[in-house]
């Protein structure tokens, strides 16, 4: 492959609507370049300056949503919130054949990964009462984070939390980038599905999840908690925009 062809591949890969080697191949054909039949050849050329990375799912932010996130960030900057006393929560679905929503794209190694839009939705299900165990670990002044899914806003849930004397953390809508358990779920899923592994039974998958959970290091969780002040600071600097991914997209 000549340097001229490599340059064409690099330039095409930078286009916003190009995400795969097959799209690069088609774009080369449209531009009249000599056809490259092997996608592997294109991928090898792209790997010099690009990396094939997962696109994080983030819902789009309106101006009003940004302003609410900004106000929330500034509030917690002033309060100097003790994040170590907050229990973060969110559901996670594991499938036998692999994780949901796994979108990838070629991006320059020095560039941010672009976000892909996803719908803001809440899931049902049963939550075991682990509050006593949480208090043993975190302490009596524990705060509890949950997103704004309709099921969390129901009278039944509110009454339960009040009866248990649980202090709920006020949470801005459309803010998965603040929730560190999202990162933890990602780490866990990579362990469970390492090597593109799939599972035949629910029991096999459950055992793999429990085993992966046992291998999580405490420093990993400590680092996630330690990242929260910077996330809050970055959000304030970005006027409420997302603190991860392509900051200019929304």
Domain ranges within the chain, ordered by starting residue: 3-48, 63-102+120-237
Q: Is the pTM of this model over 0.75?
A: no
Instruction: Report pLDDT for 64.
Output: 95
Residue with tokens 């304030």: 236
Q: What angle do CA 231, 14, 186 make, to 5 degrees?
A: 40
Are the C-beta atoms of 21 and 42 separated by less than 8 Å?
yes
Looking at domain 63-102+120-237, which of 3.90.79.10, 3.30.420.10, 3.40.190.10, 3.30.1390.20 is its CATH number? 3.30.420.10
Instruction: Report pLDDT for 177.
Output: 92
Are the C-beta atoms of 56 and 103 separated by less than 8 Å?
no
* Nearest by Cα to 92 from 123, 117, 119, 121: 123
Instruction: Report pLDDT for 132.
Output: 83
* Residue stretches of the chain with pLDDT short of 70: 1, 14, 16-19, 33, 48-58, 99-129, 244-250
Give dist(CA 99, CA 31) in Å, integer. Answer: 37
For residue range 121-175, what is the model confidence (pLDDT) as tens digits?
333 333 446 788 888 888 888 999 998 888 788 888 888 888 888 899 999 999 9
Are the C-beta atoms of 6 and 45 separated by less than 8 Å?
yes
Give dist(CA 170, CA 167) in Å, integer. Answer: 9
Instruction: Report pLDDT for 71.
Output: 97
Strands 104-108, 50-54: pairing is antiparallel
* Nearest by Cα to 25 from 17, 13, 14: 13
Task: Spell out the residues 6+ positions from residue 177 whose beta carbon is closer than 8 angstroms to its own.
Answer: 58, 231, 235, 242, 243, 244, 245
Instruction: Report pLDDT for 107.
Output: 44
Q: Using CB atoms within 10 A of its CB, is residue 144 exposed (0-12), middle (13-18) or buried (19+)? A: middle
How long, in residues, is the chain? Answer: 250
């Amino acid at each position: 492959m000549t340097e001229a062809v490599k340059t064409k591949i690099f330039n095409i890969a930078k286009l916003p609507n190009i995400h795969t080697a097959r799209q690069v191949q088609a774009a080369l054909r449209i531009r009249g370049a000599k056809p490259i039949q092997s996608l592997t050849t294109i991928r090898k050329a792209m790997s010099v300056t690009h990396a094939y990375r997962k696109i994080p799912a983030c819902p789009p932010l309106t101006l009003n949503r940004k302003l609410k996130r900004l106000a929330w960030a500034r509030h917690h900057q002033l309060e100097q919130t003790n994040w170590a006393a907050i229990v973060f929560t969110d559901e996670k679905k594991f499938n036998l054949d692999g994780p949901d929503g796994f979108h990838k794209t070629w991006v320059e190694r020095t560039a941010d990964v672009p976000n892909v839009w996803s719908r803001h939705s809440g899931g049902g299900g049963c939550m075991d009462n682990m509050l006593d165990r949480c208090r043993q670990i975190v302490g009596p002044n524990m705060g509890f984070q949950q997103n704004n899914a309709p099921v969390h806003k129901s009278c039944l849930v509110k009454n339960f939390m009040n009866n248990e004397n649980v202090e709920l953390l006020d949470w801005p809508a459309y803010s998965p980038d603040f929730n560190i358990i999202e990162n933890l779920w990602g780490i866990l899923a990579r362990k469970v599905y390492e090597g593109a592994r799939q599972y035949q039974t629910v029991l096999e998958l459950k055992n793999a999840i429990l085993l992966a959970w046992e291998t999580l290091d405490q420093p990993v969780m400590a680092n996630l908690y330690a990242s929260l002040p910077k996330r809050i600071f970055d959000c304030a600097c970005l006027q409420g925009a997302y603190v991860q991914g392509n900051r200019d997209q929304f």
